[in-house]
Chain A
């Protein structure tokens, strides 16, 4: 049983979905997404949580250039595979009330994107990683532009050019590593073993960092993000924020730092400061947002900033915090965007000031919303708590001052999220919000799953943490070892 099944099932699903016109397309897509999740669970049950790469596949692809179709799952990949396979069915289910034009194309693109994302999270070959990286970008561009709203053409072209620019520099870095590699392969482990000068490593650092920083996004490379999130269809926003931005974070852990430890020693402090600036900057802007979706978009920049800071601190707490927080952020942000989607679909507005008193007319909705908000603001016993705690602990070990500033996210986040909750759900209702009906059917299923996950991970985070621990320790060990050697 190899990772191939995991990578090709979504592609098969995409082709199958294309064949079904009209309403059945979404059911077919959901079927494939659930099957994919089931397979991921089988992998999980067979997974041994140590540092090795499992379920591997290694095919010669372009022999002349040493390109292999090499992929495998270790602890770090496992968490992200779980994230992807878990969120895609939830996202598909969340769109069931939408009447998209050409639903078969829409759902086929979602499944195609899933294949690209899984490829990114499992690839162990530089070329393959790049192919997955772009294969995830093309579908989301079309999803956002074809089914989005507002000034979507201009906004998404900006998004595409921005991210494509970043990834081309990454490609440059990958090819550069290949030319420096005496074994003439794109194999990740050969890349790890390279001995490059500090100067070369700085070059590699920036080539990769640009791609990852744009994807996450880290301040000041975030300017594409709020517009794109706001104008995308809600499923597109969920894909972008829930899964896609994790590609950048994963890339830093798996590719950037282990390949160029010296570049990281030199430029890591710059990166961590940028990440912390982004946290405060995005939080402050989130305060002033009237549009709920935009508010969540900015809060997402803040949360991702904290994850990035934790990684660049590069200690076991920081990275383990990042691992679990990637999963949590995915779950929570999908929940939040779904909440906004429900509101805007029923009341045709996302303006926070125009809302109020929904809790009275829709108590179940209010409870679900509250749990998700609490998860986002990292209340103990919700999933966000353990993640942010570990991340802050990691940053604290790196620098006390930075951790104090980064800790503002928790306070600021609590302020703007709870303020939004209060304005939307409590206070005086008006003629518009009186029309709000409580959640029904599939909406209950989606929100129920999300709330359950928030609480389960909040109470027992070890179930996720133990998956990645051995791999993370091994990676840190390797980087420290490599740094030591080059110091000598």
Chain B
């Protein structure tokens, strides 16, 4: 709870700092603030308190684990932003502030115990993201991304709100426990309105995590937004979306899973195929990452399709693996783009000779995203597959395996470009912050891959 307060107050302090032109203090203050928030979150570990604020929020271990993940991801992304925003515009403080506001929305999404809070959390997060997507004011692609994201986002929020309203109409409550109890009390007399409400909520949430067929905004928004914002969207926002999704379905709609599982099953399969097959044909690395993030949304949905006691743990592991690998990928992309001037795969030609460190970290990230053993990504996939098989979703797992094989092709394309394609010799400078973030993330990927209990034993 203190976490949420700190993260809400922090951006206001940052705005004041911006007002008094204390540019040098922005990053340190933000990082220290976030670390404090992280510390407060961890201090509450294991308390399992009852819902607070009249049952609006509940900071249980689930919330704390995911909050910690999103805060750490945000810190890593902000460390990469040293000198990045200065190049885009003069109003640097606003970027930090808006990202932090978005993070505050994320924390609400991770700890809601009432559907209104879910809606408010999603809105705080999304409105901030609309601004962030369009932050390059004079850039055509960035403006396009912001407009597209806003229009589509507004639509999906409409669906979500409509769904919440119908569920309220049927069950008479916004509270997660009350709704669950209502389902358990009236197992045979559930109103069709309630089912419609669930479907509409699935539409709204699938939009937020970028699952097919509600993914059409992802490639353009990811490509048009500034790369760091894309990194934020594809890691923190996606993690928050899937965690909110899981919280809703595991606490609330679990008793009537026979209704929504078939729907989600089809969405998952579609997401896997559309994400992977489209990623095969991309020439731009950034766009490839956008499509691959769609397919990862598919793997994350496994946990909800095969809901069981280990689902939260599987999602946490998978989201951790995916987030740190994505941060590496986007971080390297920023540096490579600065040198080569393009997002295409050709920009990575011969990177192993230009800078072996960057090439190595990106290789670790790609192997992790592809799910090769001894990286965190494999452990994530392994948990997802185990969960699905334990719920007898054999067909789904076979489809996922086929997709994992397809994904090798486009992830290895980068590795091949870095190590085996010739390029003119050039220097790629790596600022010290980048060395830290990339090195830390690569190390974390391998450590979690070898000893997953660090993450998987948490919840």
Contact = CB atoms under 8 A, between A and B. Distances in A.
Bound pair (A, B): yes
B405 A138 contact: no
B394 A176 contact: yes
A164 B408 contact: yes
Contacts of A176: 389, 394
A255 interface: no
Contacts of A157: 409, 412, 416
B367 interface: yes
B405 A161 contact: yes
Interface residues on B, range: 20 to 34
B420 A153 contact: yes
A172 B385 contact: yes
**Secondary structure of the B contact surface, majority rule:** helix
B142 interface: no
B298 to A, nearest CB: 16
Of B373, B378, B412, the most chain A CB neighbours within 10 A belong to B373
Contact of B401 (A62, A146, A168): A168
Contacts of A61: 451, 453
A160 B389 contact: no
A135 interface: yes
Interface in B47-86: none
A146 B356 CA distance: 14
A100 interface: no
A99 interface: no
Interface string A135-174: 1001000100110000011000100110011001101100
A267 interface: no
A131 B374 contact: yes
Interface residues of A, number: 30
Contacts of A161: 405, 408-409
B382 interface: yes
Contact of A62 (B378, B419, B456): B456
Contacts, number: 72
B313 interface: yes
A173 to B, nearest CB: 10
A64 B420 contact: no
B292 to A, nearest CB: 16
A179 interface: yes
A157 B372 CA distance: 15
Interface in B307-347: 310, 313
A281 interface: no
Given A161-B408, A179-B386, A63 B453 contact: yes
A65 interface: yes
A175 B416 CA distance: 31
A176 B386 CA distance: 8
A135 B389 CA distance: 24
B405 A168 contact: yes
B405 A145 contact: no
Interface string B215-246: 00000000000000000000000000000000
Given A146-B419, A172-B397, A172-B398, A135 B374 contact: yes
A127 B456 CA distance: 16
B439 interface: no
Interface string A174-204: 0110110000000000000000000000000
B127 to A, nearest CB: 39
B209 to A, nearest CB: 24
Interface string B381-422: 011011001100010011001001100110010001001100
Sort A-B residue pairs by CB-CB distance and give the 6 closest, nearest first.
Answer: A134-B373, A165-B405, A131-B373, A168-B401, A179-B390, A179-B389
11 contacts: A61-B453, A134-B374, A134-B378, A146-B420, A152-B420, A157-B409, A157-B412, A171-B401, A172-B398, A176-B394, A178-B389
Interface of B: 310, 313, 367, 372-374, 378, 382-383, 385-386, 389-390, 394, 397-398, 401, 404-405, 408-409, 412, 416, 419-420, 451-453, 456-457
Given A64-B456, A127-B382, A175-B397, 13 more contacts: A62-B456, A63-B453, A130-B373, A145-B416, A146-B419, A157-B412, A161-B409, A164-B405, A164-B408, A172-B398, A175-B385, A178-B386, A179-B390
